[in-house]
Structure 1
């Protein structure tokens, strides 16, 4: 099996496939990954941010969620480029970060919209506290 991977191009393609797999696990493209990957990573990021200030836990968690999605999209982009291109080329990190940030933000806004329109229902985990709405975050 390893003799098929003697040239560098084959190793690069294998590395690309691994990056695509890891990126898919972190990306917003799979519906189940949030529970197992993104939310625990986001919670950890929020927890680390709360060391600086207790008020940073929720914003840190949201930022961690976005960062994990952006990282997933970037890993998939790098992996696909490694798999599909015959000759290795330089990555335009600025452009790929911008694409990842925009796509993750659009995805998050779509989910928020679906929640606000009651198309998606969330369980009421805190029955004694009033539920949050997007209006409480807007400066109106």
Structure 2
């Protein structure tokens, strides 16, 4: 059934908002996410990479941890942008990905320098 455009808009915004919530949960912006979300994802990634490709578990853990944080920041930015914007172009998506990766890299360098990572 085809819905009128005025009824489609709120449901689209809800989907974008849910995407932003998932991104927030994965992102390093929530103080509790490591224990309950990112570390279990990193452990699962380490096990999977070790089992399938023979990657060292510590390296796999680091890859999973960083990837979940980058993905979280990306989904958060994408969800917020999609909620407020009418349309998101590829250039904006690429810009958000680069910014998320740079932010996570800087955060990892700082945390590594402080001995926390």
Whether contact under 8 Å (2:78, 2:96) holds in the other structure is no
The 5-angstrom pairing of residues 1-140 of structure 1 reads 7-51=7-51, 52-53=53-54, 56-85=56-85, 87-92=86-91, 93-115=93-115
Q: In structure 2, what is the Cα distance between the partners aligned to 1:78 and 1:26?
A: 13
Greater helix percent: which structure? Answer: 2
Query: Aligned Cα RMSD in Å?
Result: 2.0
Tell me, which stretches of 5 or more residues in structure 1 are unaligned?
1-5, 121-133, 135-140
TM-score (norm 2): 0.84
Tell me, which stretches of 5 or more residues in structure 2 are unaligned?
1-5
Q: In structure 2, what is the Cα distance between the partners aligned to 1:10 and 1:90?
A: 20
Match of 1:124 in 2: none
Q: Which runs of 4+ in 1 moved over 4 A?
A: none
Higher relative contact order (CA 8 A, sep 6+): 2
TM-score (norm 1): 0.71
- The structure number with the bigger radius of gyration is 1
